[in-house]
Amino acid sequence: MLTHLSLRLRIFLFFGLIALGNIAIFVGGLWLGYLRAGLPALLDPFVFAGLLASFACLGICAAIWLLFDEHVAKPIETLAAEMRLKAHGGVSRDIDAQTARYLGDLAPAAAGLAGQLGDNTLQTARSIAQETARLEAEKQRLTALLSEMPVATVMLGPDHRIVLYDAQAATVLTRIAQPRLNASLYDYLDRNTLEPALTKMRKTGQEARAQVASRDKTQSFAICLKPLGQGDSYVLIFDAPATVLMPQDVQPLVFDFDLIVRPMHEIADRPLHQQCFVVFDTETTGLLPHRDEIVQIGAVRVLNGRQVTGERFDTLVNPGRPIPESASRIHGISPAMVADAPKITAAAAAFHHFATDAVIVAHNAPFDMAFLRRHAKDTGVQWDHPILDTVLLSAVLFGASVPHTLDALCARLEITIPAAQRHTALGDAQATAAALVKMIPLLQARGFTTLRDVIEQTQRHRRLLEDLNPVDNHGGTWQAGKKP
């Protein structure tokens, strides 16, 4: 009964019912006494006695509830979160038994169990690490070998989504848009010029060559399509020059073969570990989205529960207005640095393409999204992506009473943010993504396995974001100090 409510809320309701029950008993007893006395003149003294007894009962119940909440409910919530961190979050620190010192032997027992679990996990992790290191070495040798081959190759699944691309292919795709796993091939190549070659390949079971256009029809590419076995997966090879320059931050070979066999689900019902997330952050000229401007956007992609190395979005933005010195002291971006940067319409359009078919994630997302949505009409895009906020995810996992700043969340999850990267858009996005990756198994351990489950849980903590982003009289968002 009422299991969907938090423990602290259920305890509050329990004490509330005790208070109401006692008040009902006082009032009923006084009312019967008044009726038996049969003296109308005693009504006022009886009413006064009832009110006094009721307020005294409320006060006593409230005081006991506060003590119970502070020394029992909160510690249980904290202890449960710490145990999940040890079991599912890869956190190595010991459980602080002092936090739950009023729970008798529960805290030491939990600490002992977690320690035993940690020892067993460590032994297993060492064995896994040795085998992983061997496989990683073989993978690197294979990657290096494939990278030396002057072939621009893209592997695609049955749904025409990218499963693998090499550095040469990344160079070709970058001429159209930033390459990314799980992106549709039609995000890069024109469907009308590509479909005849695909039809021919599938009809004959043999390779097919064609001249295809880019999605904006400004470029043309000679390609070769080759089927893979009996399935519907295939390889696309660009007839690119033998020697190409590797784009910055792109790995020699980027792949995730799980994308081939992943069952299709509606995005709301897709398991969390199979979701594609784009985690982003912005730096701005100030803290008022209704009149300040973005000066930097940074983002990374999380796919199948891990950050995709090399798939990053990082751009300075010309705000078209001066950058206050107070803002520059925080993020280190000066007016000279953004003089030749793209305007927000071009930068936001490029970021929108980077986030296609993904769940957008940010820390205090309403703040960052307010800037993007303000320029949506001029940019020509709609920000209709599902959105998760790591502030709310933190509240779901660790309770609303603990701090939920990015620094506090990363400290709780044992994530280190290099000082040079803090308050840079890409650095904060990477830290938020690292936190998300660690929180996914914690959410699943709580039984929140799909995006729908998680959104339902975060809705219960919306008040946190309302407190972080109060609306001023002009419809803007006021923030005291810098963004958390």
Closest-CA residue to 319 (of 337, 343, 340): 343
Q: Is the dihedral of CA 397, 401, 406, 412 positive or negative?
A: negative
- Using a 10 angstrom Cβ sphere, with 0-12 exposed, 13-18 middle and 19 or more buried, the burial of residue 405 is middle
Residue 483 pLDDT class (50, 70, 90 cuts): low
Above 70 in pLDDT, residue 223? Answer: yes
- Closest by alpha carbon to 187, among 387, 422, 355? 355
Per residue in 384-432, pLDDT tens? Answer: 999 999 999 999 999 888 899 999 999 999 999 998 899 999 999 999 9
Q: How far is 120 from 468, CA to CA, in rounded Å?
A: 41
Give the count of beta carbons closer than 10 Å to the beta carbon of residue 371. Answer: 21
The residue ranges of every structural domain in the chain are: 7-116, 149-253, 265-468
268 and 452 in contact (C-beta within 8 Å)?
Answer: yes
Q: What local confidence, expressed as pLDDT, does residue 167 receive?
A: 83
How many whole angstroms separate alpha carbon 103 and alpha carbon 470?
Answer: 38
83 versus 13: the higher-pLDDT residue is: 13
The per-residue pLDDT for range 57-80, each reduced to its tens digit, is 999 999 999 998 888 888 888 888
DSSP states along 164-218: EEEHHHHHHHHTTS---TT-BGGGTB-HHHHHHHHHHHHHHSS-EEEEEEBTTSS
- Whether domain 149-253 has CATH 3.40.50.970: the reply is no
pLDDT tens column, 330-339: 999 999 999 9
Distance, CA of 331 to CA of 283 (rounded, Å)? 7
Which tokens hold the place of 450? Answer: 């799909």
pLDDT digits (tens, 9 = 90+) for 138-152: 666 655 555 555 578
DSSP secondary structure letters along 429-479? HHHHHHHHHHHHHHHHHTT--BHHHHHHHHGGGHHHHHHHS-B-TTS-B--
Mean pLDDT over 373-386 rounds to: 94
230 backbone dihedrals φ, ψ, rounded to 5°? -90, -10
The residues near 44 (Cβ < 8 Å, ≥ 6 apart) are none
The CATH homologous superfamily to which domain 265-468 belongs is Ribonuclease H-like superfamily/Ribonuclease H (3.30.420.10)
Helix (H) or strand (E) holding 418: none
Cβ(349)–Cβ(299) below 8 Å: no
| Residue 171 predicted with pLDDT over 60 | yes
Task: Give the type of residue at 21.
Answer: G
Contact, 167 vs 174, CB < 8 A?
A: no
Percent with pLDDT over 90 in the chain = 55
- Is the pTM higher than 0.85? The answer reads no
Is a pLDDT exceeding 80 seen at residue 272? yes
